[in-house]
């Protein structure tokens, strides 16, 4: 299957494995399959980039992260969130900073940073809006929400695509849109996250209203989770650094957490006295056939 056929919405022949009929399907015009030239900011540069963007406070935080682990390399995941809190993405400078702090090679850091979707290679907006388009949310309206938000946030007749930003990345009111795999809230779909806080049971209209508020500088309260912060502050928290102001910290801890829908099964079981069978003291392992 060629990249061209993916982009044009033409049909393609499917697998004939097993001698079954050839599958014909129209490939939708979705941005996830587009193959485009690699943007300059993604290319690996020769030599060590300028690390001055990471100030003394960031170095101090990096050392605090490393001190949490018996082996420094174990600190890589929070360290990547730390550099992302500074630049809104994991840049080449961020990769080199992590490598220096942890005694790793830039290639080792890159391998991890490019594997996980939470590490962004393009600078994010003030807010990251993640729309779940996995199966359950998709059939409940997640696909429609994602498409409508792309249209709403796009410009010049062009829909905003996956990992693209409306506005100047990082500037107030800028929004990065992404479609996400299951966000572990299927009972509350369609689900959106803003900077990883949950907005449950969304509709196309409520989603448009949500991003309009974000663009206007408002911080709507998530359905569950801590009060909404911007993307970089959320990244700092993911690195393990929380508000120093006690009231602000407590507001995050006290935010709504489990939803009624999520607890429904446990509540029913409790009311009806249902319990799971006790775990046997000794659970024999099944026989494994010798090869």
Residues that bind ligand FES (CB under 6 A): 132, 134-137, 182-186, 189, 191
Other beta carbons less than 10 A from residue 51's beta carbon: 16
64-68 contact pairs (CB < 8 A, 24+): 65/239, 65/240, 66/101, 66/102, 68/240
Alpha carbons 138 and 6: distance in angstroms, whole number: 21
Alpha carbons 10 and 224: distance in angstroms, whole number: 42
User: Which residue, 106 or 190, has its beta carbon nearer to ligand FES?
Assistant: 190
Q: C-beta of 140: minimal distance to ligand FES in Å?
A: 8
Q: C-beta of 184: minimal distance to ligand FES in Å?
A: 6
Q: C-beta of 256: minimal distance to ligand FES in Å?
A: 17
Between β-strands 127-132 and 192-194, what pairing exists: parallel, antiparallel or unpaired? antiparallel
User: Which residue, 186 or 259, has its beta carbon nearer to ligand FES?
Assistant: 186
User: Which residue, 66 or 191, has its beta carbon nearer to ligand FES?
Assistant: 191
User: Which residue, 78 or 189, has its beta carbon nearer to ligand FES?
Assistant: 189
Q: C-beta of 129: minimal distance to ligand FES in Å?
A: 14
User: Which residue, 17 or 260, has its beta carbon nearer to ligand FES?
Assistant: 260
User: Which residue, 145 or 211, has its beta carbon nearer to ligand FES?
Assistant: 145
Q: C-beta of 187: minimal distance to ligand FES in Å?
A: 8
Q: C-beta of 142: minimal distance to ligand FES in Å?
A: 6
- Per DSSP, the three-state class of 89 is coil
Q: C-beta of 7: minimal distance to ligand FES in Å?
A: 27
Q: C-beta of 185: minimal distance to ligand FES in Å?
A: 4
Euclidean distance between the first and the last CA atom of the chain, given in angstroms as a whole number = 39
User: Which residue, 107 or 184, has its beta carbon nearer to ligand FES?
Assistant: 184
Between β-strands 175-180 and 127-132, what pairing exists: parallel, antiparallel or unpaired? parallel
Q: Which of 56, 51, 1, 49 is nearest to 23 (CA)?
A: 1
Inter-residue contact 210 to 32 (CB < 8 Å): no
User: Which residue, 87 or 143, has its beta carbon nearer to ligand FES?
Assistant: 143
Please report, for residues 37, 241, 246, the alpha-carbon distance to residue 238 in angstroms, rounded to integers and kept in the order given. 31, 7, 18
Q: Which of 92, 232, 244, 258 is nearest to 171 (CA)?
A: 232
Which helix (H) or strand (E) element contains residue 205?
helix 204-215
């Amino acid at each position: 299957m060629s990249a061209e056929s993916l982009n044009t919405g033409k049909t393609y022949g499917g697998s004939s494995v097993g001698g079954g009929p050839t599958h014909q399907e129209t490939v939708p015009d979705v941005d996830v399959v587009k193959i485009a030239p690699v943007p300059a900011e993604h290319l690996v540069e020769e030599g060590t980039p300028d690390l001055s963007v990471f100030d003394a406070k960031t170095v101090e935080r990096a050392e605090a992260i490393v001190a949490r682990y018996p082996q420094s390399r174990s600190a890589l995941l929070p360290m990547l969130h730390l550099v992302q809190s500074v630049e809104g993405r994991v840049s080449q400078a961020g990769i080199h900073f992590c490598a220096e702090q942890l005694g790793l090679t830039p290639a080792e850091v890159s391998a991890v940073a490019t594997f996980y979707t939470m590490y962004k290679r393009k600078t994010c907006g003030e807010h990251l809006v993640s729309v779940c388009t996995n199966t359950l949310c998709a059939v409940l309206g997640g696909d429609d929400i994602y498409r409508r938000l792309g249209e709403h946030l796009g410009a010049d007749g062009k829909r905003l695509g996956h990992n693209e930003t409306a506005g100047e990345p990082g500037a107030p009111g800028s929004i990065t849109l992404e479609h996400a795999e299951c966000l572990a809230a299927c009972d509350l779909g369609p689900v959106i996250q803003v900077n990883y806080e949950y907005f449950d049971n969304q509709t196309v209209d409520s989603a448009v209203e949500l991003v309009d508020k974000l663009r206007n500088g408002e911080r709507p309260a998530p359905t569950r989770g801590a009060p909404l912060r911007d993307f970089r502050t959320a990244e700092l928290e993911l690195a393990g650094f929380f508000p120093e102001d006690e009231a602000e910290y407590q507001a995050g801890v006290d935010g709504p957490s489990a939803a009624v829908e999520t607890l429904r099964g446990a509540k029913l079981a409790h009311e009806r006295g249902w319990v799971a069978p006790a775990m046997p003291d000794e659970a024999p392992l099944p026989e494994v056939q010798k090869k």
